[in-house]
Amino acid sequence: MKVMLIILDGMGDRPCEELNGKTPLEAAYTPNMDYLSEKGINGIMDPIAPGIRAGSDTAHLSILGYDPYEVYTGRGPFEAAGEGLVLRPGDIAFRCNFSTVDENMNVIDRRAGRIKEGTHELAEVLNGMEIDGVKVIFKESVEHRAVLVLRGDGLSPYVSDADPHKLGSVYEVRALKSGAERTAEIVNEFVERSYATLNKHTVNMKRRENGLMPANIVLPRGAGMVPQMDSIEEKHGISTGAIAGVSIVKGVCRLAGMEVLDVKGARGTAESDFGAKIGAALDYLKNGDFVLVNIKAPDLFGHDGDPAGKKEIIEKIDLAMARLKEALDNTIIAVTADHSTPCDIMDHSGDPVPLLIAGKGVRTDDIRKFGERTAAEGGLCRIRGKDILNILLQLAGLSEKFGA
């Protein structure tokens, strides 16, 4: 049998006044998830551990069987891997913004006027430079975003951000632990050189002529070291694929050795083509064993504090799940979230998330509707994210016996 794990990003929520005390999932009309809920077993899951407020990156790591406390030092490596950079364990990676500074190195626009064109040309002049024997790999991403990788000996991920996260002077990067001083110096040197080269670049000359903010500096943040991670394929002997719209989730999956599938219409927004993602996941399972599908949209409505919007997007996603009913004969299907993003707090919380697992042979319980409260009554009870892969592979007959 095959396994499909669908993660509705940030779907978990708390009772919302606007929805008469229901959560968005409880208030939503979700006949397809309810069908899976009824045919299968339900429970709740602490993505990392009870009460821990998980990020999307650390939660996905945990759900894929890695200990985030061991492999995670910062967001940078997962963003960089998500942008398609080929990384090596020990590389230090950062997320970056192209920003605008004045001649006194004061940030006057953190997003360089949300620059849309020309960042590839700007990135090219920074990519490949060397600083103190360390190789600089730099690539533009969407709009003002970019990723930076430092490759060399003796580097540390424990350095602060150059990005002040507000207007005002550029922060000097500092060592956060002893031994990180040289890395901090290298990042400061990179920031200085980015200003020296980009400020006079023709792309920015033209932007000034057109009254646009020049993208005249690069500000790194979110340093992390690329971890050594045994792939899921090595650990479990199965082929694995992933479908996600946002680069950070793609990056986690890539570093877990999964094949990240390109799906037309997978955008990581509310306009994403959910049906195309589910269809691509079913296609992948014709040959592959395990596929993870991340749908980002519910998290965005949680951050916006919009319960009605979150409810509606869950209904739209549910529609795209109609065709999963036919897959139950040869597929174990799980639906859950990577963390809760309650509309009330507009950020991730440490509340557990609902989880259902359906498919041939799966034990059942009395739950008939998928929701936070109902799932908590289900037969799976309460598990941790790190258990889910084992549970799913066992149900699909894809796991080895431990012992005689």
List residues binding Zn ion (CB under 5 A): 9-10, 56, 299, 338
The least CB distance from residue 286 to Zn ion, in Å, is 28
Nearer to Zn ion, 13 or 338 (CB): 338
CB of 203 to Zn ion, least distance (A): 32
The region, left, alpha or beta by phi > 0 then psi within -120 to 50, assigned to residue 386 is alpha
Specify the residue, 338 or 351, whose C-beta has the smaller distance to Zn ion: 338
The angle that helices 56-63 and 247-255 make with each other, rounded to 10 degrees, is 30
The span from the CA of 10 to the CA of 109, in Å, is 30
Cα dihedral 66, 68, 73, 76 in deg (nearest 10): 70
Q: Which is nearer to Zn ion, 40 or 268 (CB)?
A: 268
Q: Which of 322, 339, 281, 296 is nearest to 2 (CA)?
A: 281
> DSSP state, 105?
S
- Partner residues linked to 96 by β-bridges: 146, 220
For the chain, counts of helices (H) and of strands (E) = 15, 15
Helix or strand or coil: residue 269? coil
Nearer residue to Zn ion within complex by CB, 37 or 56 = 56
Q: Closest approach of Cβ 339 to Zn ion, in Å?
A: 5
| Distance of closest approach, residue 55 Cβ to Zn ion, in angstroms | 7
Pairing of strands 353-358, 290-295: unpaired
Strand partners, 360: none
Q: Rounded to the nearest whole angstrom, what is the least distance from the CB of residue 193 to Zn ion in the complex? A: 33
Q: Which is nearer to Zn ion, 34 or 299 (CB)?
A: 299
Nearer to Zn ion, 9 or 315 (CB): 9
> Least distance in Å: CB of 37 to Zn ion?
22
Neighbours of 171 (CB within 10 A): 17
Of 342 and 371, which CB lies nearer to Zn ion in the complex structure? 342
> What is the nearest approach in angstroms of Zn ion to the Cβ of residue 245?
12
Closer Cβ to Zn ion, 57 or 140, answer by number: 57
Residue nearest to Zn ion (CB): 56
DSSP label at residue 187: H
Q: How far is the CB of 133 from Zn ion (least distance, A)?
A: 37
Based on the number of CB atoms within 10 Å of its own CB, is 179 exposed (0-12), middle (13-18) or buried (19 or more)?
exposed
Q: How far is the C-alpha of 41 from the C-alpha of 374, rounded, in Å?
A: 11
Q: What is the CA radius of gyration of the chain?
A: 22
